């Protein structure tokens, strides 16, 4: 696919109103040059999220989340970079231009766009047929009996496929689509050299991606015909293992609520949506896949599984839990009443309230698995209790923290008729060090050197006049990480001209430094009252650290015979210079 030109990306960035983009997610108040509010990326009671509307960057002093206007849209809307640019271009009416691509790329893009258009028109055709055709009366009656209102039917673009063998095929041919295009889109099949509609006399459920584009269909019969459900075949666009039903409708609600309900069937999603529970998707059966969970994890890490209470649903639940753990998702299990699925529950008078109670009491992944293992074990025999304990040893280390782990140890002790101390002793071979939230494990702790480097660069932006005399003589050797080295070059380029000048390289284009610059820009405008003296001290601390690294490198290469070598004399010179810098720092005298 052709790349968006950098000039177009910059035009989109220039057109964006950062405050308008952030406003739906948090309330911002002006504080100095920036705006502050509660962070939309983590729960907090006090405002630590800061936005610079001029540079169009954000940074949270609480959780460390930061980025530019594009990364904000990517993370809150669950989009990739190109889709974020397209979304903002549409919002601010910016015409995008693309890099020149090869004829082959252009042809593949043209075919893809035609297929997407064909699938969208097919969904419209099926939807109109459901509303208007006498032949679809049974389908309309079925939806009415299930309690689905016309609004939810329209929202999900439900339709009905004519029973005739070539209705859609002929309609598509009239709009210029070839039999090969219909076959490639999964809308037809070939028999004796002729194209026939793949879906005939079925209730149609469009499958969409996160942008709401139709990629395929699920089709249900209304009688006893087999198969009961028929899906689109695998195509260039449709891959059942990676799609979840309803994501196009649910995406924004998922990001707003920062959680998702995963159910089994299409009608479960429809029923929840009709009850104003919009952040629900379906796994299209019980076989929830790793690809589906990866797709969902783009929008939230908080997952509620609401599968049926039958044996198949419970088996699928346990498999899904293992996959979710591997993706570091926070999972809770909504335990449905026996014999009921979410659609059944929603059609009851108190259904939404009952579902809310189930959600509020949903056990965590660890709690559910402990319950499942204990319920399935023969706890009346010593052998059964021993086997259960062995299985639980593999589960307990996955606790989100020590409190949850200790609570479950008490549950296990009670069920096994042992003291908590005995259970802890029997499990002491388990590596509890593996416990801890996935998010905490992923966050990297900054080194002392990197903290000073970031502080120095933010002070450079706050005091450009003083900073220039330091920056012109500094090199990469003063910085210990790739992001701070990249940020150093960006800051030096920015301050190389007049104060306040915009550098040739925008924040959004930088690799590596992109994760650091939002923090630096936000801190530089924070108005914390720091003076240029802080900049001077930080520079000397960086200098001392850089010289110390050079000294250590020389010491590693010296031998006993080097007492009069050039390396030895350089080592002595550096040691003396380092002592001078330390004395200056201690005395607070930075003018040299």
Q: What is the pLDDT of residues 25-72, one digit of tens each?
A: 889 999 988 999 999 888 788 899 999 999 999 999 988 889 999 999
Q: How confident is the model at residue 437 (pLDDT cuts 50, 70, 90)?
A: very low
Predicted pLDDT at 71: 93
Predicted pLDDT at 512: 56
* Cβ burial, residue 35 (10 Å; 0-12/13-18/19+): buried
CA distance 265 to 194: 34
Q: Does domain 242-362 have CATH number 2.40.37.10?
A: no
Give percent of the chain above pLDDT 70: 87
Q: Which pairing describes strands 302-305 and 330-333: parallel, antiparallel, or unpaired?
A: parallel
CA distance 341 to 263: 9
Q: At which residue do the structure tokens 């009491």 appear? A: 361
The number of angstroms, rounded, from the C-alpha of 451 to the middle of its chain's C-alpha atoms is 27
Predicted pLDDT at 433: 39
Predicted pLDDT at 564: 63
- As a whole number, mean pLDDT of residues 325-348 equals 86
Count of alpha carbons within 13 Å of 298, Cβ hemisphere only?
Answer: 24
Predicted pLDDT at 435: 43
Give percent of the chain above pLDDT 90: 45
Beta partners for 67? 58
Predicted pLDDT at 491: 92
Q: How confident is the model at residue 204 (pLDDT cuts 50, 70, 90)?
A: very high
Q: Residue 312 pLDDT > 80, yes or no?
A: no
Q: Residue 590 pLDDT > 70, yes or no?
A: no
User: Strand, helix or coil at 575?
Assistant: helix
Q: Which of 203-207, 423-427, 468-472 has the highest mean pLDDT?
A: 203-207
- As a whole number, mean pLDDT of residues 106-118 equals 90
CA distance 276 to 304: 17
CATH class of the structural domain 6-91: alpha beta
Residue 491 and residue 499 in contact, taking contact as beta carbons nearer than 8 Å: no
CA distance 512 to 505: 13
CA distance 123 to 216: 9
Q: Residue 277 pLDDT > 60, yes or no?
A: yes
CA distance 183 to 193: 12
Predicted pLDDT at 69: 94
The mean of the pLDDT values for the chain is: 85
Q: Residue 322 pLDDT > 90, yes or no?
A: no
CATH class of the structural domain 108-238: alpha beta
Per the omega criterion (within 30 degrees of 0), is the bond before 227 cis?
yes
- As a whole number, mean pLDDT of residues 151-157 equals 97
Q: Using N-to-C axis directions, what is the helix angle for 464-471 and 532-557, rounded to 10°?
A: 20
Q: Residue 443 pLDDT > 50, yes or no?
A: no
Predicted confidence (pLDDT) per residue in 72-100, tens digit: 998 888 788 998 999 999 889 999 888 87
Neighbours of 371 (CB within 10 A): 16
Predicted confidence (pLDDT) per residue in 5-16, tens digit: 899 999 999 999
Backbone angles phi, psi at 204, to 5 degrees: -105, 130
Q: Residue 509 pLDDT > 50, yes or no?
A: no
Q: How confident is the model at residue 430 (pLDDT cuts 50, 70, 90)?
A: very low
Task: Compare 247 and 366 and report the one with higher pLDDT.
Answer: 247
Structure tokens at 432: 């509890």
Q: Residue 500 pLDDT > 70, yes or no?
A: no
Of 523, 519, 469, nearest to 492 by C-alpha is 469
Q: 389: Cβ–Cβ under 8 A, 6 or more apart, which residues?
A: 412, 416, 423, 426, 427
Cα-Cα-Cα-Cα torsion 530, 536, 538, 543, nearest 10 degrees, comes to 170
Q: Where are the alpha helices (DSSP H) in 463-516?
A: 464-471, 482-495
CA distance 44 to 37: 10
Q: Which of 114-128, 426-440, 492-506 has the highest mean pLDDT?
A: 114-128
- As a whole number, mean pLDDT of residues 228-257 equals 91
Q: Residue 529 pLDDT > 70, yes or no?
A: no
Task: Compare 591 and 442 and report the one with higher pLDDT.
Answer: 591
Residue 118 and residue 169 in contact, taking contact as beta carbons nearer than 8 Å: no
Predicted pLDDT at 554: 87
Residue 4 and residue 509 in contact, taking contact as beta carbons nearer than 8 Å: no
Q: Residue 318 pLDDT > 50, yes or no?
A: yes
Predicted pLDDT at 373: 81
Residue 533 and residue 590 in contact, taking contact as beta carbons nearer than 8 Å: yes
- How long is the chain? 592
CA distances from 378 to 314, 317, 374, 388, 389 (A): 19, 22, 8, 8, 11
- What order of strands is seen across the sheet that includes strand 29-31? 29-31, 34-37, 49-52, 57-60, 66-68
Beta partners for 261? 280, 304
Of 110, 300, 130, nearest to 202 by C-alpha is 130
Q: 394: Cβ–Cβ under 8 A, 6 or more apart, which residues?
A: none
Helices (H) and strands (E) in the chain, counts: 26, 15
- As a whole number, mean pLDDT of residues 190-207 equals 92
Q: At which residue do the structure tokens 């002006």 appear? A: 30
Predicted pLDDT at 164: 84
């Amino acid at each position: 696919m052709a790349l968006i030109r950098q000039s177009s990306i910059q035009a989109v960035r220039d057109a964006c109103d950062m405050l308008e983009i952030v406003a739906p997610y948090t309330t911002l108040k002006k504080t100095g040059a920036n705006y502050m509010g509660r962070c939309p990326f983590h729960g907090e009671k006090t405002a630590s999220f800061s936005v610079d509307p001029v540079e169009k960057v954000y940074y949270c002093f609480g959780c460390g989340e930061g980025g530019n206007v594009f990364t904000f849209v990517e993370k809150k809307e669950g989009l990739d970079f190109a889709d974020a640019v397209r979304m903002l271009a549409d919002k601010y009416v910016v015409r995008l231009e693309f890099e020149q691509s090869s004829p082959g790329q252009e042809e593949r893009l043209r075919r893809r766009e035609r297929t997407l258009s064909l699938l969208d028109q097919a969904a419209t055709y099926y939807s109109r047929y459901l509303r208007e055709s006498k032949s679809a009366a049974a389908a309309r009656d079925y939806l009415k009996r299930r309690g689905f209102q016309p609004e939810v039917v329209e929202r999900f673009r439900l339709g009905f496929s004519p029973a005739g063998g070539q209705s859609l095929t002929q309609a598509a041919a009239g709009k210029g689509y070839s039999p090969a295009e219909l076959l490639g889109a999964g809308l037809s099949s070939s028999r004796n050299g002729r194209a026939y509609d793949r879906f005939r006399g079925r209730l149609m459920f469009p499958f969409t991606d996160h942008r709401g584009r139709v990629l395929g269909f699920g089709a249900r019969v209304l009688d006893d015909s087999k198969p009961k459900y028929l899906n689109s075949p695998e195509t260039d666009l449709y891959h059942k293992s990676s799609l979840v039903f309803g994501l196009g409708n649910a995406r924004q609600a998922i990001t707003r609520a920062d959680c998702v309900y995963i159910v089994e069937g299409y009608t479960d999603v429809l029923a929840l949506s009709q009850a104003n529970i919009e952040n629900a998707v379906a796994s299209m059966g019980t076989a929830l896949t790793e690809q589906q969970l990866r797709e969902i994890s783009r929008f939230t890490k908080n997952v509620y599984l609401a599968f049926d209470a039958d044996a198949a649903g419970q088996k699928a639940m346990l498999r899904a839990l293992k996959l979710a753990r591997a993706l570091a998702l926070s999972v809770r299990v909504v335990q449905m009443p026996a014999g009921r699925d979410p659609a059944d529950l929603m059609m009851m008078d108190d259904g939404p309230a009952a579902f809310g109670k189930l959600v509020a009491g949903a056990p965590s992944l660890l709690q559910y698995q402990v319950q499942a293992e204990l319920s399935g074990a023969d706890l009346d025999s010593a052998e059964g209790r021993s086997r259960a304990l062995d299985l639980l040893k593999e589960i307990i280390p996955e606790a989100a923290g020590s409190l949850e782990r200790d609570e479950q140890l008490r549950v296990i002790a009670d069920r096994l008729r042992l003291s908590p101390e005995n259970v802890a002793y029997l499990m002491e071979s388990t590596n509890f060090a593996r416990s801890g939230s996935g998010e905490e494990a992923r966050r990297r702790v900054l080194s002392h050197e990197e903290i000073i480097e970031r502080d120095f660069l933010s002070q450079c932006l706050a005091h450009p006049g003083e900073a220039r005399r330091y920056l012109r003589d500094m090199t990469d050797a003063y910085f210990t990480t790739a992001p701070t080295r990249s940020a150093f070059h960006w800051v030096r380029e920015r301050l190389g001209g007049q104060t306040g000048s915009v550098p040739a390289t925008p924040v959004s284009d930088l690799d590596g430094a992109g994760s650091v610059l939002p923090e630096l820009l936000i801190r530089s405008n924070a108005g914390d009252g720091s003076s240029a003296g802080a900049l001077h001290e930080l520079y000397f601390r960086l200098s001392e650290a850089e010289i110390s690294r050079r000294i250590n490198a020389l010491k590693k290469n010296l031998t006993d015979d080097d007492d009069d070598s050039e390396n030895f004399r350089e080592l002595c010179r550096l040691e003396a210079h380092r002592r001078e810098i330390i004395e200056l720092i201690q005395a607070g005298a930075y003018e040299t």
